[in-house]
Amino acid sequence: MSRLPAIASLALLVAAAAPPELPATRMTTRGKLVYGEDFAKDLPPCTGSTARFASGFAGWRFNVEKRGGHWDVVDGTFKGAENAEHHHPATASYGFDFKDAIIQCDVRLNDVPPEGRKNRYFNLRTTDSKDYVCSIILTESGMRIQKDDNDHDGPDVAVPLGRLKTPIPLGEWQTIVMEILGDEMVGTLNGKSLTGRHSLLASEKKSIMFVSGTECSVRNLRIWEATAHPDWATTKGALQAEARTAGEK
C-alpha cells in the first residue's frame, strides 16, 4: 500500500503546527522576547499605582478613567470602544521599563456604526515617566509615525516623522511593527515602512499604550529586545528615498 497519503498528512500536520513567519524588521534585530500576549483570558491587574497614565505601574492599566472608553478581552482579541458620550478614546497601557524595543501586534479597525463617534483610528504609543514619546497612528487612509507631544499643555508639540497613504479597510486585520533604537524609530504596516528621528525617542520609557477611536481590536502582541540591524544604513537610505519620491507625487 502506498505511503504517500500518510506522508502528505504528516506534512500538513507539521505545517499547521509551525509558528507563522515573523514580519521582517528594518532597523533592528529581534532579541529576547520580553512579553507576549494572546488575550486568551482576562488580564491580571497591574501592580503599583494607576494614578498616572504614563508610569508608576507594571502590567496592564485600563478602564481606569470614568470618562474614558472601555476595553474588553473578547475571543482572543482586546477590543477598545470609545466613550461616545464624552468623545474619549479607549486607552490601555502595559507598564514595563525599556529603552530600545520591537513592538508588534495585529490591529483591526472594527466595522461598527459610529454612534456619535467622529473618527476611526488606532495609536500604538510609547511613554516616558510623565507623558507620550512616539506613536504609530492608523486611520482609514493609512499610517503615520510621529514624535508625540511630551507635555500636553506646555510648549512641546507633536512632530510628524512620516506618512504612508494606503487604504485600511474596516474589519480586516493589519500587522504593525514599531522599532525603536536610540533616537530613531521605524513604523511598518503590512511590510511598508516609515522611519524618523528625534532626540526624545532615546528617552527611558515606562509603558506602551493602545488608543482606540470609535472601536478597534488588537491581537498577538509581542515585545522583543532590539539590537542594531547590520543592513540599517542601506535600508534607511532606501526608505528615505521612497519617502522623498512619494512626497513629490
Could you tell me the residue ranges of all domains in the chain?
22-243
Closest CA to 127 of 153, 158, 94, 159: 94
Determine the pLDDT at residue 244. Answer: 80
Q: Are 204 and 97 in contact (CB under 8 A)?
A: yes
Q: List C-alpha distances in Å: 26 to 30, 36, 135, 147, 210.
A: 10, 21, 17, 19, 23
- Residue 20 clears pLDDT 90, i.e. is over it: no
Q: Tell whether the model's pLDDT for residue 143 goes beyond 90.
A: yes
Reduce the DSSP state of residue 220 to 3 states and report it: strand
43 pLDDT band (50/70/90 cuts)?
A: very high
Residue range 39-46: average pLDDT?
A: 96
* CB 233 within 8 Å of CB 122: no
Cell of 32: 529576547
- Better pLDDT: 232 or 10: 232
pLDDT at 17: 47
Instruction: Map residue 4 onto helix, strand or coil.
Output: helix
Please identify, in words, the CATH class of the domain defined by 22-243: mainly beta
The mean of the pLDDT values for the chain is 92
Confidence of residue 11 (pLDDT cuts 50, 70, 90): very low
What per-residue confidence (pLDDT) applies to 243? 85
What local confidence, expressed as pLDDT, does residue 6 receive? 55
Burial 87-100 (b: 16+ CB within 10 A, else e): ebbbbbbbbbebeb
> Residues of the chain with pLDDT > 70: what percent?
91
Q: What does the pLDDT read at residue 2?
A: 47
Q: Is the pTM of this model over 0.85?
A: yes
The pLDDT, as a whole number, for residue 8 is 52
Percent of the chain residues past pLDDT 90, beyond the cut: 86
pLDDT at position 196 is 98
Question: How confident is the model over 55-85, as pLDDT tens digits?
Answer: 999 999 999 988 999 999 999 999 999 999 9
